[in-house]
Structure 1
Amino acid sequence: MRLQPGPTFLGIGCFVVFLIAATPARHVLGWLGDTIAPLTLADSRGTIWSGSATETHYNGVNLGTAAWRFQPLDLLAGKLRYRLSLRGPGQQLDGYAGVNIDGSYQAEHLKGIVKARILPGLLNQPMIGAVGDLDIDISSIQFAASNLNEAAGKIRWQGAGITSPVALDLGGMQFDIKGDENGLRSSIQDIGGGLSIKGELNLAPTGTYRISGRILPKASANPALVNTLKTIGKSGTGGSIQLNFSGQL
């Protein structure tokens, strides 16, 4: 009997896909090893098609439990994509992430609440202390060869505050994010609290960041907070305070 090439190759292809999809997640994570560092997943269960891990760490920061599920229909659009979810104490994050046909990495439709206190650790800035909740709504962020291709989204920092190196109660802030190969940019504005805030954040591809802003205390502003801002900023017109920070991630 002569085999028909089309159905034969299709059958072999489906069998190979089945074998790959059924591979236990713990084996795949073991093979990847340091290639996904500084991301680590512990006590993984299930397969690379659908599974979970009871502990997820990035830069040593515990992000909670993780779960993933392969999205096979996205292969038709040239994407190897997973639906992901993270769950931790008081926080949750859901979205999609994967690899495009051109080799770029992309995360899309990221939505959820993340505790601000974990952010300094994720960015390797242990000297900074932060409080509050980050309400995340990122429509897309894409990287190619560790370089940013595009980014778009919004982050609302509710109950925003800094505990170190200085203590600042910032109320609420919103970041409208855009990015391309030239770096990441975000406008900054207040969304409540005793301070009127207008500013901008710039992050260059080299990791150099610059934050500049104009703060105008409202009548309800804490006098001690205003005095602290004056010591770290520069007095401007109409009682405003100009702040400028820069550094390297």
Structure 2
Amino acid sequence: MSIKLLSLAAGAIMYAIFMIALFPAPIAYKWLAPNSIELSGVQGRLWSGGATTGFLGDMEVKNIHWEFVPLDLFVGRITGKVNMLLGDGFVDTKASATFNSLTLQELRATFDLQVLENFIPIGATQGKVFAQIEHLVIEKGWPIKIIGELRLMELMVAPFVPSSAALIPIGSFRLAFLDNSKPGGTIEHLNGPLETNGNIELRSNRVYDIKIFVKALPDASQELLQGLELMTGEPNNLGFRAFNLTGSL
């Protein structure tokens, strides 16, 4: 290929990058956004813009802002940074998307647990989520790799006995995902009336498996003690009761 043709090709590529970078975000949203994403107040450019509000499925987000790298489009992916408000909290992450996967890095987030009620079966459980995820890969809507931690703070669950009305405090817990070879992690007690340790496994067939051992501490309420007796087996010689939960999403 001659130098002239190389120069023309380079110029065409640079022009394409320039046009993509300056393409209006409102028009791009109308043309490209999937039905599962609804945005309003879209402004800026395709690769540097934002929206005032949006819905990701049934989850509402606000003050959305993105900064993407136009050049990465030519290697089949979209890469950049995204931040938004989620309820009274926030999400801030680096993101890279291809046709069949989504990779999040350096994700920092905090929000009310109830925000996730349409995605995971949490029932009436309340609390706060603090996330520090260094690496997360999602394929077909399911995590296949995860490194980082989640802190579930000041959790309160529905009463185990129907006659009780108030939510029952069970404390705060840490979920640590340290092994990049499989999507799973450990569960440990941070504070509250339940001493806890266990594991969570996320299988490739969209099944989650939680196995934990719990022991009521001296400050556990009578309602919590009754719930443990109803939902677990007999305690072992150290006073821990086994609790297993398996389901699919």
Same fold (TM over 0.5): yes
Aligned match for 1:128, one of 98, 123, 143 = 123
Q: Which residue of the partner structure matches residue 88 of structure 1?
A: 86
Q: Which residue of the partner structure matches residue 158 of structure 1?
A: 153
Q: Shift of the alpha carbon at 1:42? A: 2.6
In 2, the alpha carbon distance for the partners of 1:96 and 1:243 equals 36
Q: State yes or no: 1:112 paired with 2:96.
A: no
Check conservation: 2:214, 2:242, Cα contact below 8 A.
yes
* Larger strand proportion of the pair: 1
What TM-score do the two structures reach when normalised by structure 1?
0.84
Q: Which residue of the partner structure matches residue 50 of structure 1?
A: 48
Check conservation: 2:47, 2:70, Cα contact below 8 A.
no
Check conservation: 1:129, 1:164, Cα contact below 8 A.
no
What TM-score do the two structures reach when normalised by structure 2?
0.84
Deviates more, 1:64-73 or 1:11-20: 64-73
In 2, the alpha carbon distance for the partners of 1:38 and 1:78 equals 22
Could you tell me which amino acid in structure 2 is paired with residue 7 of structure 1? S
Alignment CA distance shift 1:68-1:192 (3 Å) = same
In 1, the alpha carbon distance for the partners of 2:11 and 2:192 equals 62
Q: Which residue of the partner structure matches residue 139 of structure 1?
A: 134
Identical residues among aligned pairs (%): 19
Q: Shift of the alpha carbon at 1:11? A: 2.0
Check conservation: 2:87, 2:111, Cα contact below 8 A.
no
In 2, the alpha carbon distance for the partners of 1:39 and 1:133 equals 25
Is there any run of 5+ residues in structure 1 with no aligned partner, and where?
none
Check conservation: 2:146, 2:183, Cα contact below 8 A.
yes
Q: Which residue of the partner structure matches residue 188 of structure 1?
A: 187
Deviates more, 1:160-169 or 1:207-216: 160-169
Q: Shift of the alpha carbon at 1:144? A: 4.5
Q: State yes or no: 1:225 paired with 2:224.
A: yes
Check conservation: 1:65, 1:88, Cα contact below 8 A.
no
SS of 1:234's partner is coil
Q: Shift of the alpha carbon at 1:220? A: 1.7
Q: State yes or no: 1:19 paired with 2:19.
A: yes
Aligned match for 1:65, one of 59, 63, 67 = 63
Q: Which residue of the partner structure matches residue 199 of structure 1?
A: 198
Check conservation: 1:71, 1:82, Cα contact below 8 A.
yes
SS of 1:121's partner is coil
SS of 1:128's partner is coil
Matched residue count: 242
Q: Shift of the alpha carbon at 1:155? A: 0.5
Deviates more, 1:150-159 or 1:57-66: 57-66
Could you tell me which amino acid in structure 2 is paired with residue 114 of structure 1? F
Alignment CA distance shift 1:7-1:227 (3 Å) = same
Q: Shift of the alpha carbon at 1:200? A: 1.3
In 2, the alpha carbon distance for the partners of 1:82 and 1:212 equals 37
SS of 1:112's partner is strand
Deviates more, 1:53-62 or 1:185-194: 53-62
Encode CA deviations 1:206-245: one digit per residue, 9 max, x unaligned: 2222211111111122222121122112221243222111
Q: Shift of the alpha carbon at 1:173? A: 0.3
Q: Shift of the alpha carbon at 1:162? A: 2.6
Deviates more, 1:219-228 or 1:74-83: 74-83
Q: Shift of the alpha carbon at 1:198? A: 0.6
Q: Which residue of the partner structure matches residue 32 of structure 1?
A: 32
Could you tell me which amino acid in structure 1 is paired with residue 94 of structure 2? Y
Check conservation: 2:144, 2:204, Cα contact below 8 A.
no
